[in-house]
Structure 1
Amino acid sequence: QKPHRPVWLKMAEVNDVERVIMRIFEMMGLVGFVSRPTPETLLRSIRRVFRRAFRLELRDVGTLHKICDNIEYYVEHHKGKGVKGKKKTGKKT
């Protein structure tokens, strides 16, 4: 039996993480998320989460981009149809 070798994973650079943060921020706008008092408040909050919580591997950043791709695809192809099982009324809840 071969001895266990550690796997060395490539850590994401700061600019990789910043790109995914901006992508998440854009997706929140795409789905109609309203940040109060300003959109910059949401952006700062997202950045804080990523700064405090963890260091991302490059593959993690890729996974987050794929999630954003799927959200974007869904929104573009289902605009105005609402969430399955919920009737869209135009009222705030």
Structure 2
Amino acid sequence: MDPGAFLCIFDASGEEGQVFDPCEYVNTCDSGLYCVQPKLAGECDPQALGCCLPFCDTSLANTCPGQGQECLSWWGEDPPKPGLEKLGLCGLPQ
């Protein structure tokens, strides 16, 4: 399987899984959010294994909800996949 691929999985978030909620697995965040390291947002619990943060569009104005967050390229320094060049994730610049 392509490690850069996106796929649909069962939503196990229940009442949780909202922005800045703690998470342990990718399917414990609501749709449009991803479970990442808590250090990417000051609003996240630093003791949690993960934190739900939103995807964003790098070509648009910053719409990230956290203090000091920016729309960071999903791909980091790697070249983006065709058709996903504008894919980003809200986070604090590292």
TM-score (norm 2): 0.20
TM-score (norm 1): 0.20
Max radius of gyration: which structure? 1
Return the structure number with greater relative CO, CA threshold 8 A, min gap 6. Answer: 1
> Which has more helix, going by share of residues?
1
